[in-house]
Chains A and B, each alone.
Chain A
Amino acid sequence: MAQRVAIIGFGQTRHRSRRDDVNGVELIQEAVRAALEDADLTLDQIDAMIIGNMDHFEGVNYVDTWSVDGTGAYMKPLLKLTTGGTTGTTLGIAGYHFVASGLFDTVLVVGWEKNSESDTTGAIITCSDPIFDRFSFSGALPGLAVEASAYMKAYGITQEDAARVTVRDRRHGANNPYAHLRTPVTVEEVMNSPMLSWPVKLLDICPRTDGAAAVIFAGERKARRLAPQPAWVIATSVRHDYAYFHDIDYTRMHTIEGAAKELYQYVGIKEPLKELDVIELYQPYSFAGLKWIEALGLCPPGESPRLLWDGVTDMGGELPINPSGGVICTNCIGATGLLRIGEAALQVMGRAEGRQVPNVNLALATGFGGAFWSDMMLLGRRPW
C-alpha cells in the first residue's frame, strides 16, 4: 500500500420520499457541499471524484459527465461506478483504492438516487435475465421473498421475529435527523401491514427515497492534519456470486460469510459479537437482519431471533446494529451503501450525536446488491 487511508468527512441530504425542490444535479450538490463543510475543505483541495447511482431510476446516461456542475468535478479525474444496491459501498471501496494507490490524496465519493422520478420495479426488473429469470425474479421483492421463505423453513423463524428487526431500526431511525422514516412502529403494526410477497410485508421492507451522500477519503498525512479523529479504513472485502437468481443457494448467505471471513482473518477477529462495536448493515428488509447477522458470525444459524428479542443489537446492547435506522428507514439506492460507510465513520469519529454508540473502536459497514452480492468496509479508531 502506498499510504494508509481514512475517512475525514461525510455529508448527506435530509432524505425524503420526494424532493421536488431540487433536480438530480442539485441533490448531488447538497451532499457534496455538506461533506466539504464537514471536512472543512474547499473544492480545490479535492484531487478526484467518484460517483454512482442506478441509471434506470433517473434515466440519465453517463451520470458522471452529466452531473459535473453538482459534484464540482470540473477539470478533475472523474469515474462512474455502479453495481446495483452495492453501488454505494463499491464507491467507498474505490475511494479507498484511489487514495491507497498513492495517486490521489483527497478523494470525494458521491452516491445518489432520486427514486421519486422512477418506476422502481420497472427499473429493477431488467437486471434479471430476460429469458430464464425475469418471469419469476421480477424486481427487488421476489429474490428476498424466496430467501425469507427458505430461511423460515430451515430454522423455524417466524414473521414476528423479523418484525422485531423493523421495530429496532425504526426506533433507531427516530434518533437520526437525516432519516427518511422517523416514526417508531410496533410488532403488531408490522404484522398488520399489507402483504407484498409472502412473507414480506410493507413494513418489512425499505422505502424508496430521494437522497445523496458524499464521503471524503484522505491519505494518512492529510487525515492526521485535517481530522481530530479520522475513521481509518482497516480493510475492505467483496464477494460476488452467480448471474442468475435461480442459481443462488438461499439457505445461506454465502457472500457475507466469505467477505466477513476475509475481513476477520485479516484483522484477527475471532468473536465478532464481542470485538465489533457497531454495525451499519445494508439490510433491505427485516429478514436480512436475522439471517445475515448469522452469516456475519454473530451467532450460530437460526439463533439470531434470540439476539434480537434480548435487545443485544439495540442501542445500549452489546453490539448495536443500524444506529442510523438503516436501510429500513432510508433507501436512496445509489447512496444507501455509502450511507452505511458514512454512518459507520461518524461512529468511529465520535460525531454521531443522538445516535452515537459509546466508545466505538471498530465499526463495520456492509453493502448488498445485484444477485446477492456483499461488500464490506471495516473502519477503526486507529490505523491498521
Chain B
Amino acid sequence: MTNVAIVGAAQTPYRRRRDDASLAELVHEVTVAALADAGLEMGDIDNIVTVSNDFWDGRTISSMAVMDASGSSYAGGKNVSTVEGDGTFGLFYGAMRILSGVYRTTLVVAHSKGSEGDPMMITNSMFDYIYTRPLGLEFISSCALQARRYMDKYGLTEADFALVSVKNRRNALRNPYAQLAGELTVEEVLASPVLADPLKRHDLSPISDGAAAVILADSPVALRLGRKPVWLKGGAFCSEDHFLGDRDLAEAPALREASRRAFEMAGVTDPFREIDVVELYDACSYMELLWLEEMGFCPRGEGGTLIRSGETAPEGSLPVNPSGGVLSAHAVLVAGLARVIEVVLQLRGEAGPRQLGPKPVELGLAHGINGPCGQSHCVLVLGA
C-alpha cells in the first residue's frame, strides 16, 4: 500500500480554551496551512473528509458548521464525507477514497473544542442508556476500571503509570503545540488529586481546543510536488466488544489485530527493531503501556519494564510520543490526526526541537482510538 502519501499537514497549537476562534475558524486555519505546506491550492483538492462529533460540538450534523471553512463550496461544491470518530479513522477512509481510483487529493480535517462542552456528560453518552449509562460511567471512571484491571492482572503499579506522565510531559517541553508541559516527578504524579482510583490528575490528558489537517495524494501527484512525501505503508482498524463486563480490560484484542494487519501490510516483522517512532493515543498514562504491549513492542504485562528501561524516551531505541502525546494535549478526534502529523514531521526531519536523531527516522507508527477503554483502534504505519 504505497500509493497514498501525506503531502501536507498542519495543526493549531492546543490550548485549554480558544475564545478567539470558532470551530469554523479553527478548521480554516489548518486547512489553509495544510494547503500551503503541500504547495497546493483549494482547486487542487478533489474531495474532503471532515472529522467531527455532534456531541462534542453540541450541534447536529456537526460537519455543517465547517463546510465553508474546509472548502466545501469551492467551485460549485466538493465531495465531502464526515467521519465521526478519531482522526486516524478519517485519514484511513480518506486514503481509501484515493485507493479506489476515484479521487487523487483528499483533505482530511478534524476539529474539537473540549472547552465548549461537558466532557463528563458527553462521554457518559457513549454508554448504553439502559444498562451502563445510569451507573455514571464516563471517560475517567471507565479508564480507572481498565487501569485497575491492568494492574491486578500483570502487577503493574501506579508508579509505572506515573513514569509515562513524567516522560510525556517532559517531551512536551520541546513541543510548542502542546498544552501541558513540565518537569514532573513520580512523587508529584502520585500525590496529585485522585479523580477515579487509581487515576490521578497527572495520569490524565487535559481538555483541549484545536484542529488538525492532513492532505493525502496518490503517488503521481505526490511525486510531482516538490516536498518529500510520507507514504502510508500500512493501515488497519478494528473494534471489539462494547460492554466493559464482556471484555478483559487488561487486553486490547482489537489493537492486536489492527497492529498485526497494519504491520503485515507494511512488511514489518519485528516492530521493536523496525519502527523508529511511535505516536500513540495515551489519553491516560496507563494506556501507553497497555497499547505498546498489544502492538507487540513488548510481551504482555511487560509495559512497566519497558517504561522503566528508558527505551521509550526520545533518546531510547523506541521513542514513544516524543511530542508529549495525548497526555499533553487532547483535542478529541483531532488527537489521532495530531499523532499522524507528529510522525510526518519526524519522518521529514522537520520536528524542530523535538526532532529525533541522529539516526534518521524512516518508519513510524501513528495510532488512534474510539469508544470506551479503547474499544476500537486504528493503526497507521508511515514511511519516508
Interface residues of A (CB under 8 A from B): 1-2, 23, 25, 54-56, 59-62, 64-69, 73-84, 90, 93-94, 96-98, 100-103, 123-127, 129, 236-244, 254-255, 258, 369-371, 373
Q: Once the chains are docked, how many angstroms separate the CA of A66 from the CA of B99? A: 29
Q: Once the chains are docked, how many angstroms separate the CA of A238 from the CA of B82? A: 12
Is B97 touching A62 in the complex (CB atoms < 8 A)?
no
Q: Once the chains are docked, how many angstroms separate the CA of A75 from the CA of B252? A: 10
Check: B283 CB closer than 8 A to any chain A CB.
no
B72-125 with Cβ < 8 A to chain A: 72-73, 76-85, 89, 93, 95-97, 99-102, 122-123, 125
Is A83 touching B254 in the complex (CB atoms < 8 A)?
no
- Closest CB of chain B to A218's CB: distance in Å? 14
Taking CB atoms, residues of chain B closer than 8 Å to A100 are 99-102
Is A75 touching B372 in the complex (CB atoms < 8 A)?
no
Residue pairs across A and B with Cβ atoms less than 8 A apart, 10 shown, are A1-B100, A56-B60, A59-B129, A60-B126, A65-B371, A100-B100, A240-B48, A240-B67, A254-B77, A371-B67
Contact A65 to B60, CB < 8 A, known contacts A2-B99, A240-B67: no
Q: Which 10 A-B pairs have the closest CB atoms?
A: A65-B371, A100-B100, A101-B99, A84-B61, A1-B101, A239-B77, A238-B79, A61-B125, A240-B72, A78-B239
Is A258 touching B76 in the complex (CB atoms < 8 A)?
yes
Is A238 touching B81 in the complex (CB atoms < 8 A)?
yes
- Which single member of A56, A96, A254 contacts B76 (CB below 8 Å)? A254
Is A82 touching B61 in the complex (CB atoms < 8 A)?
yes
Is A68 touching B242 in the complex (CB atoms < 8 A)?
yes
Taking CB atoms, residues of chain A closer than 8 Å to B238 are 75-78
Is B239 touching A370 in the complex (CB atoms < 8 A)?
no
Check: B55 CB closer than 8 A to any chain A CB.
yes
In the complex, which residue of chain B has the Cβ closest to the Cβ of A83? Answer: B82
In the complex, which residue of chain B has the Cβ closest to the Cβ of A371? Answer: B64
Is B53 touching A127 in the complex (CB atoms < 8 A)?
no
Is A68 touching B81 in the complex (CB atoms < 8 A)?
no
Check: B236 CB closer than 8 A to any chain A CB.
yes
Is B241 touching A82 in the complex (CB atoms < 8 A)?
no
Is A64 touching B239 in the complex (CB atoms < 8 A)?
yes
Is A84 touching B60 in the complex (CB atoms < 8 A)?
yes
Check: B302 CB closer than 8 A to any chain A CB.
no
Q: How many pairs of A and B residues are in contact by the CB < 8 Å rule? A: 197
Check: B370 CB closer than 8 A to any chain A CB.
yes
In the complex, which residue of chain B has the Cβ closest to the Cβ of A244? Answer: B68
Is B101 touching A2 in the complex (CB atoms < 8 A)?
yes
Is B239 touching A68 in the complex (CB atoms < 8 A)?
yes
Is A97 touching B236 in the complex (CB atoms < 8 A)?
no
- Which single member of B53, B54, B82, B239 contacts A75 (CB below 8 Å)? B239
Taking CB atoms, residues of chain B closer than 8 Å to A243 are 24, 64-69, 72-73
Is A79 touching B237 in the complex (CB atoms < 8 A)?
yes
Is B96 touching A101 in the complex (CB atoms < 8 A)?
yes
Q: Once the chains are docked, how many angstroms separate the CA of A90 from the CA of B54? A: 16
In the complex, which residue of chain B has the Cβ closest to the Cβ of A99? Answer: B100
In the complex, which residue of chain B has the Cβ closest to the Cβ of A237? Answer: B79
Is B102 touching A83 in the complex (CB atoms < 8 A)?
no
- Closest CB of chain B to A349's CB: distance in Å? 23
Taking CB atoms, residues of chain A closer than 8 Å to B60 are 54-56, 84, 123-127
Is B77 touching A94 in the complex (CB atoms < 8 A)?
no
Check: B376 CB closer than 8 A to any chain A CB.
yes
Is B125 touching A81 in the complex (CB atoms < 8 A)?
no
Taking CB atoms, residues of chain B closer than 8 Å to A373 are 80
Contact A1 to B61, CB < 8 A, known contacts A74-B241, A239-B77: no
Taking CB atoms, residues of chain B closer than 8 Å to A123 are 60
Is B83 touching A80 in the complex (CB atoms < 8 A)?
yes
Taking CB atoms, residues of chain B closer than 8 Å to A81 are 81-84, 93
Most buried by B among A96, A241, A254: A241
Question: Do most interface residues of chain A lie in helix, strand or loop, or is the interface mixed?
Answer: mixed
Is B67 touching A370 in the complex (CB atoms < 8 A)?
yes
Check: B355 CB closer than 8 A to any chain A CB.
no
- Which single member of A62, A66, A83 contacts B61 (CB below 8 Å)? A83
Is B54 touching A56 in the complex (CB atoms < 8 A)?
yes
Q: Once the chains are docked, how many angstroms separate the CA of A163 from the CA of B53? A: 37
Is B371 touching A82 in the complex (CB atoms < 8 A)?
no
Q: Once the chains are docked, how many angstroms separate the CA of A129 from the CA of B69? A: 14
Taking CB atoms, residues of chain B closer than 8 Å to A23 are 130
Q: Once the chains are docked, how many angstroms separate the CA of A266 from the CA of B324? A: 48
B46-65 with Cβ < 8 A to chain A: 47-48, 53-55, 58-61, 63-65
Q: Once the chains are docked, how many angstroms separate the CA of A3 from the CA of B135? A: 47
In the complex, which residue of chain A has the Cβ closest to the Cβ of B128? Answer: A66
Is B102 touching A97 in the complex (CB atoms < 8 A)?
yes
A74-B241, A83-B63 known, 5 other contacts, Cβ within 8 Å: A62-B85, A101-B100, A241-B72, A244-B68, A370-B67
Taking CB atoms, residues of chain B closer than 8 Å to A2 are 99-101
Is B54 touching A82 in the complex (CB atoms < 8 A)?
yes
- Which single member of B55, B67, B96, B101 contacts A55 (CB below 8 Å)? B55
Taking CB atoms, residues of chain A closer than 8 Å to B76 are 239, 254, 258
Taking CB atoms, residues of chain B closer than 8 Å to A237 are 79
In the complex, which residue of chain B has the Cβ closest to the Cβ of A85? Answer: B61
Check: B257 CB closer than 8 A to any chain A CB.
yes
In the complex, which residue of chain B has the Cβ closest to the Cβ of A59? Answer: B125
Check: B362 CB closer than 8 A to any chain A CB.
no
Is B126 touching A77 in the complex (CB atoms < 8 A)?
no
Q: Once the chains are docked, how many angstroms separate the CA of A23 from the CA of B133? A: 15
Is B61 touching A65 in the complex (CB atoms < 8 A)?
no
In the complex, which residue of chain B has the Cβ closest to the Cβ of A125? Answer: B60
Check: B240 CB closer than 8 A to any chain A CB.
yes
Check: B375 CB closer than 8 A to any chain A CB.
yes
Q: Once the chains are docked, how many angstroms separate the CA of A66 from the CA of B76? A: 37
Contact A240 to B241, CB < 8 A, known contacts A62-B85, A65-B372, A123-B60: no
Most buried by A among B69, B130, B375: B375
- Closest CB of chain B to A197's CB: distance in Å? 19
Taking CB atoms, residues of chain B closer than 8 Å to A98 are 96
Taking CB atoms, residues of chain B closer than 8 Å to A93 are 81
Q: Once the chains are docked, how many angstroms separate the CA of A1 from the CA of B103? A: 10
In the complex, which residue of chain B has the Cβ closest to the Cβ of A259? Answer: B77
Is B77 touching A241 in the complex (CB atoms < 8 A)?
yes
In the complex, which residue of chain B has the Cβ closest to the Cβ of A49? Answer: B239
Taking CB atoms, residues of chain A closer than 8 Å to B257 are 75
Contact A242 to B67, CB < 8 A, known contacts A77-B239, A79-B237: yes
Most buried by A among B84, B372, B376: B84
Taking CB atoms, residues of chain A closer than 8 Å to B73 are 240-243
Q: Once the chains are docked, how many angstroms separate the CA of A369 from the CA of B242? A: 30
In the complex, which residue of chain A has the Cβ closest to the Cβ of B378? Answer: A77
Is B237 touching A77 in the complex (CB atoms < 8 A)?
yes
Check: B253 CB closer than 8 A to any chain A CB.
yes
Q: Once the chains are docked, how many angstroms separate the CA of A173 from the CA of B381? A: 50
Is A65 touching B126 in the complex (CB atoms < 8 A)?
yes
Is A370 touching B64 in the complex (CB atoms < 8 A)?
yes
Is B237 touching A255 in the complex (CB atoms < 8 A)?
no
Is B68 touching A370 in the complex (CB atoms < 8 A)?
no
In the complex, which residue of chain A has the Cβ closest to the Cβ of B124? Answer: A61
